[in-house]
Structure 1
Amino acid sequence: MDAKKEGGVKYVFAEALIAFLLILAAALFIYALGRHASPKHTQSENERAEYACGEKAPIQRLRINITLYRYLIYFAIFDSSVLVLAFSALSAEEAKVIPLILYLFIMLASSLILLEGGKDQYD
């Protein structure tokens, strides 16, 4: 009886393999037919050019204005401080208070330095 089961399993496996190969052959035939029948794509000058947000910009003469960098630094400091405060508020351990106070002190000192100290020579 085991011999009949083994023969049946081999037969089912052979059927599945043949079905898979036929479906794969049909898919490859349809793919090749579509590739042969489709119009050939030619690249235009715009497609071959470097992409710069859709605009043709003279990259050699492009000047970058960095006068507002200070606001970026303010945002980074205050955004990270809000994140640290939010996560520390979720923590109920008292051992986390000293690093939090130290971080807030460093944040306050750095914002005071940005506001008053180290003035730009071009302001």
Structure 2
Amino acid sequence: MKKIVLAIALLVSVSTLTFAKNSDNFFTNLVKSDLTVKTLDGLKFKITATELMPNATVEIKDQRGHTLYKEKLTSENYAKVFNLSDLPDGNYKVYLSSGEVTFAKPIEIETQVKRIAKTK
């Protein structure tokens, strides 16, 4: 009887270890995606993402969480330039979602006034 219990315990521990290893690989594959937000001239931003999983989405949300833009991605790599000059000053976020994993990058729009002195 002890040998049967020992064999069952050994079998359960090996199967649990195998499941944990497979779960780690699953999450590693989801996290391979890379999200980059780069500021260009004016209020233009270039959003790029690489090594995307199927059914990934890109969203831009305001500070209240309202979705301003959403796109379902169909390829493994993504690049797009956004002109955000029509948006008011504030904090925004770009989200890349792939399955259970979501990456977020902040964007801040701020009006700056420069004072200069001129001679006449």
Fold conserved between structures, TM > 0.5: no
The structure with more helix, counted as a fraction of residues:
1
The structure with more strand, counted as a fraction of residues:
2
TM-score of the superposed pair, with normalisation by structure 2:
0.32
